[in-house]
A = this chain, B = another copy of it.
Amino acid sequence: MLEQMGINAKTASRQISGLSAKQKNEALKKIAEELKLQQDKILAANAEDVKKAKENGITDVMVDRLMLNESRIDGMCSAIGELIMLDDPIGEVLSMTKRPNGLLIGQKRVPLGVVAIIFESRPNVSVDAATICLKTSNAVILRGGKEAINSNIALSEAMRDALEKAGLPRDAIQLIHDTSRDTATKLMRLNKYVDVLIPRGGAGLIRAVVDNANVPVIETGVGNCHVYIDETADFDMAVNIVDNAKTQRPSVCNAIENLLVHEKIADKVLPLVDARLKEHNVEIRGCDRTREILKDAKAATEEDYYTEFLGYILAVKVVSGVDEAIEHINKYGSGHSECIITESYKNSQKFLELIDAAAVYVNASTRFTDGGEFGLGAEMGISTQKLHARGPMGLCAMTSTKFIIYGEGQIR
């Protein structure tokens, strides 16, 4: 069954690989229209998912992630509208040079082919991912979580109906209806047909994919991010950035989990940070020095420094300077987003140079690590690996290249 989906996806990917930007944009428009046409059906399917989830005693946060309503469907449609406005990267020739023997050699952007996405509860991912794939001429195989299966079926069938109305193959977008773990594992091993697999979800999902896949994987999402307040930092700026990076949306990957503070200013700046974070009831878990300064802070364990809390908890450590901060971050961090707050030119450059992460900031909140904020437009997730794509993945991350060579009979 899954094998057949792979074959169908490969066939569809070849059929859509040569589409013009205009044809793809028309199909995207049809998808947005169809989502509105089938809105009642989609919301009814979603209501069923939400009902079951509540019966299973799922948390309010999870219910919120799962739930669709008219305004959320409008949100999907307006995201599609923005996607239509973006330039199509496919077909662009990145460079073309003439070799001494007269060969003209260029590198052309092409689709990846078949993209598989394994994601958890949010049903909107199926629309986001499928439309980004269509825009870049990739066929997609979606595998969502079992809590959202009825929503995902309704959404994907609406998108497939739209493809058919646009004269494109339905199988350019496929959803795996069987949500068993076994099927997910089989999908990870389908390297005969799938060109890349992107897991979108928590650390457990990502680890399972990396450990089991023979399909090339792009790791996304886990963010154990830090702010380091250097000796020369502006205290107001430091308090604002720490507050924003920790509390503006603590459940996302670009929120910070750790604060490092230079020992010479720790006794001055930590009480200011603490006072601000108390407004959001942030729990501080600190090293010994932190707890001398902030009497009510809990003790941080070694494990805490490795943890992505995704909530109102902040691990704090006082360090001897920028070198220890860099060492700590490169050891405990997940290579996502890291920030130094400093007025020192030398330390800012050192931090930018030596921190090994997808996004390295001087004097700005880590919350900006996002396709939209970086000016890339639509985003397929945030890669924390070094191969192929690193950081927010825009449309170009969904492409490969091929060399094209124009000759006149040259032999070697």
Q: A interface vs B, CB < 8 Å?
A: 14, 17-18, 97, 99, 103, 105, 108, 110, 112-113, 191, 195-196, 210-211, 214, 216-218, 234, 237, 240-241, 243-245, 248, 330, 352-354, 356-365, 367-369, 373-375, 385-388, 390-391, 400-412
Beyond A14-B356, A358-B403, list 7 extra A-B contacts (CB 8 Å): A99-B373, A216-B217, A248-B411, A360-B405, A361-B405, A364-B406, A390-B401
Given known pairs A105-B374, A244-B411, A364-B410, the reply for A216 and B403 (CB within 8 Å) is no
Contacts of A403 in B (CB 8 A): 358-360, 369, 374, 390-391
Question: By the criterion CB–CB under 8 Å, are A103 and B368 in contact?
Answer: yes
Q: Given A375-B97, A391-B402, A112 and B386 touching (CB < 8 A)?
A: yes
> Is the CB–CB distance between B357 and A402 below 8 Å?
yes
CB atoms of A196 and B386 under 8 A apart: yes
In the bound complex, CA of A330 to CA of B97 (Å): 27
- A404 CB to closest chain B CB, in angstroms? 5
CA distance A237 to B31 in the complex (A): 49
A214 to B406: give the CA distance in the assembly, Å.
Answer: 38
> 21 interchain pairs (CB within 8 A)?
A17-B354, A97-B375, A99-B374, A99-B375, A105-B374, A112-B386, A216-B217, A248-B411, A248-B412, A356-B402, A358-B403, A359-B404, A359-B405, A360-B403, A362-B406, A363-B409, A364-B408, A365-B407, A369-B403, A387-B388, A391-B403
